[in-house]
Amino acid sequence: MELTRISPRTIKPALALLLGLWAGNSLATGLAEGLLQCQPSFFKNLHAQRGELARQVKLSQDEKAGVAWISVADRTSPEGALLTFAHPVDDDGLPLTAWYDRAFDLGAQGTYYFWGFETVASREEVMAKLPQAQWEEAGEYFISRPQIKPRGSDAWQDNPSAASGVAPAAGSAEKLLMLSTENGKTRLLCSLQGSIDTALLQRERPDVVPGAGQ
């Protein structure tokens, strides 16, 4: 077997390149933590970090609104809703490997939006990394901070009765953070579901409104 000879002269450039690649994948901070509240401010956080993130992930942005987002091919299809990163993004020690953005229209049962990150870390590892979410087990998922906006109300309220697999009451909307497992990967997702009109969607998901990268 032929051995490649490495001299001290080649070690420094190689080491510098290795460190540069690692640093390039470690620039993002607080992405998963910023998702915990499922607030539209998450997209402002992406915009604030756009210079660093754009080195690793292709971003779309609305400069006037001060928001940025990761665009998938087609959020209405299972195949187009997942964008796998070329290299994992090291988010404070949590390896983020993909972005998931899915939308369902279930007619009388409401419209469902899911968005968030996929990671090779286990659910237990994610929960240990983000204990401030105060995870609750709900069927096959773990959820955090379930909220409801009843019919005729503009304010979100705590929703302790949230249950996995149960559609929101007619005229109401629900929002929560969830941990799921898909094909051996863990997904940290926000969910907005129920009666979602244009005004509510524009407020909660500035990346989904017409003209913002469907």
Question: Is 192's pLDDT higher than 90?
Answer: yes
Query: Is the C-alpha dihedral spanning 185, 190, 194, 200 positive or negative?
Result: negative
Domain membership of residue 96 (yes or no) is yes
Question: Is 7's pLDDT higher than 70?
Answer: no
Tell me, what's the pLDDT at 55? 84
Domain containing 92 equals 31-204
Range from 69-73, 106-110, 173-177, 197-201 carrying the lowest mean pLDDT? 106-110
The structural domain count of the chain equals 1
Domain membership of residue 165 (yes or no) is yes
Domain membership of residue 22 (yes or no) is no
Tell me, what's the pLDDT at 170? 80
Distance of alpha carbon 45 from alpha carbon 41, whole angstroms: 6
Angle at 67 between CA 191 and CA 208, to 5 degrees: 45
Domain membership of residue 105 (yes or no) is yes
Domain membership of residue 212 (yes or no) is no
26 neighbors 52 (Cβ within 8 angstroms): no
Domain membership of residue 185 (yes or no) is yes
Indicate the SS3 state at residue 102.
strand
Structure confidence by residue, pLDDT tens digits, 114-137: 999 999 999 999 999 999 999 999
Tell me the pTM.
0.82
pLDDT level of residue 186 (50, 70, 90 thresholds): very high
Domain membership of residue 26 (yes or no) is no
Spell out the residues 6+ positions from residue 40 whose beta carbon is closer than 8 angstroms to its own: 67, 203, 204, 205, 206
Tell me, what's the pLDDT at 80? 95
Domain membership of residue 125 (yes or no) is yes
